[in-house]
Amino acid sequence: NNIDDDANGYVDDCYGWNFFDGNNNPTPDPLQGHDEKNIHHATIIAGIIGAVGDNNKAGAGINWHVKLMNVKVLGNNGSARIGNLPYAIHYAVDNGADVINTSLVGQFDPEDVESQAYVTELLEAVKYAYDHGVVFVAAAGNSRLSLNTYPHYPVCADDMSDENFILGVSAVSVERMLAVFSNVGSNCIDITAPGVGIGGLLRYSPTNGLRDTYSPELQWNGTSFAAPFVSGAAALIKSVQPGWGPSEIFDALFKTVSKTPPENEEEYANLFGHGLLQIGPAVQYALSQPLTSASSGPTGFAFFRFSDGFSSFDSINGSVVRPEVIHADDVAVFDYDGTLSIVTASHTDETNITFYTESGYRVRSFSVPTDGPVSVRVGNVFGGDEPEVVVSPQESNDVLFWVYDFKGTLIKTYKKAFSHTGTTLSLVPATRDNGVFVDIVVSYIVDGHAVLHRFDDTFQSVQQIAFPGLTAPLNITTADLFADGSPEYVLGVGVGDAPYVYVYSLNGKKIQSFLAAEETYRGGIAVIATDYLDQHPGDELFVSQLQDALDVSLWDGVDARLLDTFYPFSQQDSGEASDGIVLRTIR
């Protein structure tokens, strides 16, 4: 329909994207008269990975329930400069891929500055995939070369790295001997798989003379067809261990290989890496390990500080400047299908909600019907496939919150009969008979004191708690402090109130409170739950001041005991007097 419906920056990419021609048609054109093998190449590979079996049709692949994403970087003749490959990798990761198969290979002049820059960019893209939990598989190539001497790409993009980011795949024959055409080299080869005498699905287009759906002869040879055996196996492992990343999946594949001659380990690694892929044992190994599920709750945390906008800190990357969120009024971080994203709220002439990838690419933006600052959170309000975006005004308004779908279409405006002076916003987990949701919780002032107001997925008020003596909206989170499966409200005070953290049961009964800063401080307290130390049966708490300090403290919330204090940003960089740390869970 010529509309970017999913707002990912690529119009009508329902079948994937063609980075060679820059359009939404990733299929080869049989009318251009190219070699028929090039026309069928990608279809054979896709069939090895995921052709559905048990249907009396055209063979079977490895993973019958896999979803395939078509991303094209080569021309119809099977060749091109592959400078677009880093962009294609980012596209696949940002659109939810778990495994990337690259059955292509190229060589670059090591003395050429442009080639060196490309290899650096390619490695950064591969690391981006790895850091986002995506397995990257690459064919070794078919030139009978030593990759240790003549590196090819992408298979050798990590050959100078201390870490292994790529599964490089050589090919073996039916006799389990190295295929005569396969490239070798222990710097780049990690595993081997069948690549000689392969049959599979064919591109079917009878009007263009392509009338077969399956190769009538086992005639397909190449490392291009060995790589998808590894990719399909990785996808199977991911399906039974959804919480595993590349490192764990690599481990499962490497621990279960079959060894073939030669017996000399160095010579063997040069030809076959760790050994010959064994799909069944690799999956059995994964099944034998404790299940690590992809969590539907918080998956991490991020710290932000104001200094002409936001910069951020997380436990993996440390302190990182996020230029995409400069001058934002609020920020949320969320994990959708394993991909980390940032959403900001900012106001100039109008108030906008803007989505970015973790690497800073702007994805989409939509406006909110107010001209002042707002808070923003992202979570699964309705328990469906996509999260919702919840927005609340920080200044006087009769609206408590707006709810938008993931693409920015307004679902609900919730108003009060009176104007408030501003709200704080939180989303808290809620388990109901029909699934796991988040409830919307806002805090605002009624008759001079703070209230907590909670709403379910039908926007019905399910709870309202008053806090006499507190004069500013509360900063709200939940935590299972006592490891009993029943979370508690954990509340940081707003600006103007004494610097306490309060713990309440979900039915509104106060459990305890503790002083979280100097008693004279009145700049507001932020708090989130964490299992950062992994030493306590229940959650710990990160606590920060919203003004006048750049340190974060870690508390045992059960006995209100300070465990640690640290500076996620430079202690020497004291910032402006109004600087403070903002805490966010990653959902």
Beta bridge partners of 343: 332, 355
Beta bridge partners of 389: 378, 404
Task: Express each pLDDT in 197-242 by its tens digit.
Answer: 998 888 777 777 777 777 766 688 999 999 999 999 999 999 888 7
Query: Which residues belong to CATH 2.120.10.30 in the chain?
Result: 328-468
Q: 296 phi and psi, to 5 degrees?
A: -95, -5
Give the span between the Cα atoms of 21 and 519, in whole angstroms.
Answer: 64
Task: Express each pLDDT in 494-503 by its tens digit.
Answer: 999 999 999 9
Span 332-352, average pLDDT: 81
Query: Which residues belong to CATH 3.40.50.200 in the chain?
Result: 17-288
Task: Express each pLDDT in 148-176 by its tens digit.
Answer: 999 999 999 998 888 899 999 999 999 99
Q: How many CB atoms lie within 10 A of CB 423?
A: 21
The angle subtended at Cα 446 by Cα 443 and Cα 451, nearest 5°, is 35
Tell me, what's the pLDDT at 182? 98
Give the span between the Cα atoms of 235 and 253, in whole angstroms.
Answer: 11
Comparing 74 with 504, the larger pLDDT belongs to 504
Question: Are 61 and 68 a contacting pair, CB within 8 Å?
Answer: no
Using a pLDDT cut of 90, give the percent of the chain over it.
Answer: 44
Give the span between the Cα atoms of 204 and 138, in whole angstroms.
Answer: 26
Angle at which helices 279-288 and 246-255 cross, to 10°? 120
Tell me, what's the pLDDT at 162? 84
Helix locations, 83-112, DSSP H: 85-94
**Helix then strand then coil, % of the chain, to nearest 5:** 15, 35, 50
Beta bridge partners of 335: 340
Structure tokens at 407: 């693409």
Q: What is the pTM of this model?
A: 0.54
Torsion of CA 143, 144, 147, 153, to 10 degrees: 20
Give the span between the Cα atoms of 199 and 43, in whole angstroms.
Answer: 11
Question: Are 525 and 497 a contacting pair, CB within 8 Å?
Answer: no
Burial bucket for residue 483 (CB in 10 Å: 0-12, 13-18, 19+)? exposed
Angle at which helices 113-131 and 85-94 cross, to 10°? 10
- Identity of the residue numbered 53: G
Distances (CA, A) of 417 to 414, 447, 449, 472: 10, 14, 18, 20
- 336 has pLDDT over 90: no
Q: 250 phi and psi, to 5 degrees?
A: -55, -45
The CATH class of the 328-468 domain is mainly beta
Instruction: Flag the least confident range among 257-266, 421-430, 515-524.
Output: 257-266
17-288 to CATH, choices 1.10.8.640, 3.40.50.2300, 3.40.50.200, 3.40.50.720? 3.40.50.200
Task: Express each pLDDT in 395-450 by its tens digit.
Answer: 999 999 999 998 899 999 999 988 899 999 999 888 776 667 889 999 999 999 99
Which residues are CB-neighbours of 33 under 8 A, at least 6 positions away? none
